[in-house]
């Protein structure tokens, strides 16, 4: 049975991925920062026959990430999905940027996935063909220049972090890639977004299926195409 760890699993794309992996028959370790408030995830856990367990993880806190890694210390992780992320608030244009919000955005979107990778390295190494996918965004690519300074720079930075990690983990046989999940109808994407969470998660799962050591270090689109850096 494939074991899948997902961060930010309580809503949006993370919740949909959790649902789809449970439906597929996989074992899901669903992480979120407030399990007590995660009603939809709890409902999914209750009807999953033990296929989904919920674990506390705030990706802005190194202690929280380490505690979760310790709790799951005996569990090999086949697929790790760094999905948790924030948009970074409304104040991120020229002349209006909040430094406090910007730093928190970097903390969650960039340093969070790095710390998660660090803490779960052994869990990945003890799996047969481990894969780690980080949910980035097209706005982090050099081909985009939307004036959303905090969010865009946090995603550009996580792209670089994962590109370096892909190279470092080549020797361990851990495939590391990034994905733009599409413009998705979630709290972050809004109701007018182009695709549903279901479509996005189906695409993300298809990309994960084809991840291996020949394409490690790639930046994918949710539809399987390669995204330009």
Ligand X SMILES: NC(=O)c1ccc[n+]([C@@H]2O[C@H](COP(=O)([O-])OP(=O)(O)OC[C@H]3O[C@@H](n4cnc5c(N)ncnc54)[C@H](OP(=O)(O)O)[C@@H]3O)[C@@H](O)[C@H]2O)c1
Question: With binding defined as CB under 6 A, does residue 45 bind ligand X?
Answer: no
Torsion, CA 38, CA 43, CA 48, CA 50, rounded to 10: 60
DSSP letter (8 states) at residue 227: P
Residue 101 CB, nearest approach to ligand X (Å) = 13
Nearer to ligand X, 27 or 227 (CB): 227
Token pair belonging to 203: 């695409």
Residue 171 CB, nearest approach to ligand X (Å) = 28
**Number of residues in contact with ligand X under rule CB under 6 A:** 28
Please state, in angstroms and rounded to a whole number, the distance separating the CA atoms of residues 87 and 62.
Answer: 20
Residue 37 CB, nearest approach to ligand X (Å) = 8
Residue 58 CB, nearest approach to ligand X (Å) = 4
Nearer to ligand X, 126 or 224 (CB): 224
Binding mask 81-110 for ligand X (x = CB under 6 A): --xxxx---------------------x--
Nearer to ligand X, 98 or 170 (CB): 98
Strands (E), the chain: 3-6, 27-32, 52-56, 79-82, 131-135, 175-180, 219-221
Please state, in angstroms and rounded to a whole number, the distance separating the CA atoms of residues 12 and 133.
Answer: 17
Distance of CA 84 to the CA centre of its chain: 5
Please state, in angstroms and rounded to a whole number, the distance separating the CA atoms of residues 6 and 61.
Answer: 16
DSSP per-residue string spanning 66-104? HHHHHHTTT---SEEEE-------S--STTT--HHHHHH
Residue 201 CB, nearest approach to ligand X (Å) = 10
Binding mask 3-42 for ligand X (x = CB under 6 A): ----xx-xxxxx-----------------xxx--------
Binding mask 168-207 for ligand X (x = CB under 6 A): -------------x-xx-xxxx---x--------------
Residues in touch with ligand X (CB under 6 A): 7-8, 10-14, 32-34, 58-60, 83-86, 108, 135, 137, 181, 183-184, 186-189, 193
């Amino acid at each position: 049975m494939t074991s899948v760890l997902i961060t930010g699993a309580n809503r949006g794309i993370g919740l949909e991925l959790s649902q789809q992996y449970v439906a597929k028959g996989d074992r899901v370790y669903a992480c979120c920062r407030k399990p007590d408030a995660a009603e939809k995830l709890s409902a999914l856990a209750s009807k999953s026959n033990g296929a989904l367990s919920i674990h506390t993880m705030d990706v802005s806190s190194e202690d929280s990430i380490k505690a979760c890694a310790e709790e799951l210390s005996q569990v090999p992780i086949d697929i790790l999905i760094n999905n948790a992320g924030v948009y970074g608030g409304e104040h991120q244009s020229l002349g209006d940027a909040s430094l406090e919000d910007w730093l928190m955005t970097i903390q969650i979107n960039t340093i969070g996935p790095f710390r998660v990778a660090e803490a779960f390295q052994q869990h990945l190494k003890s799996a047969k063909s481990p894969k780690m996918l980080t949910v980035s965004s097209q706005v982090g690519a050099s081909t985009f220049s939307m004036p959303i300074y905090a969010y865009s720079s946090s995603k550009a930075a996580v792209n670089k972090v994962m590109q370096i990690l892909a190279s470092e983990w080549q020797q361990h046989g851990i495939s590391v890639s990034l994905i733009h999940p599409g413009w998705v109808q979630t709290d972050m994407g809004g109701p007018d977004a182009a695709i549903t969470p279901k479509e996005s998660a189906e695409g993300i799962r298809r990309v994960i299926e084809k991840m291996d050591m020949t394409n490690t270090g790639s930046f994918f689109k949710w539809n399987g195409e390669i995204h330009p850096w």
